[in-house]
Amino acid sequence: MDDHDTDPATFRAQIDTVFRVDHDSGPIGLRLAEVADERIGGGFEQFSLFFHGPPDRLLPQGAYSLSHDAFGTLELFVVPVLGSNHERIVYQACLSRPVPKSG
């Protein structure tokens, strides 16, 4: 996967689709809910992915392999964040990549 495949617009096109985490307790589906916090600084593009997971299966903060039809397998560090409730647990993954050089 190249940098273009992991830009905010590519993730935004997958909002409301499910990424699967293979966990010791069985697969857990995380729905991509939002792509946010886009900014460029110091030669890097930074943005956040927010996922909604089931309320009864907490993933502790850590690195996970997420599988998705459009991306294959991604290694992301996810953190449960504020906004969780009885309907879902909210997770955030922060991404940073060098700003693509224009041709």
- Quick check: 54 and 29 in contact, CB under 8 A? yes
Asked if 12 and 61 count as a contact pair (C-beta separation under 8 A), the reply is no
CA dihedral 47, 85, 14, 70 (to 10 degrees): 100
3-state class (DSSP) for residue 5 = helix
Question: Which pTM value belongs to this model?
Answer: 0.86
Domains, the chain, in order of start with CATH, read: 3-98 (2.40.30)
- Per-residue pLDDT tens digits of the chain, which is 103 residues long: 444 467 888 899 999 999 999 888 889 999 999 999 888 888 888 999 999 999 999 999 999 999 999 889 999 999 999 888 999 999 999 998 887 776 5
The one-letter code for the residue type at 97 is R
Q: Could you tell me which residues come within 8 angstroms of residue 31 by beta carbon, excluding any fewer than 6 positions away?
A: 16, 17, 18, 19, 51, 52, 53
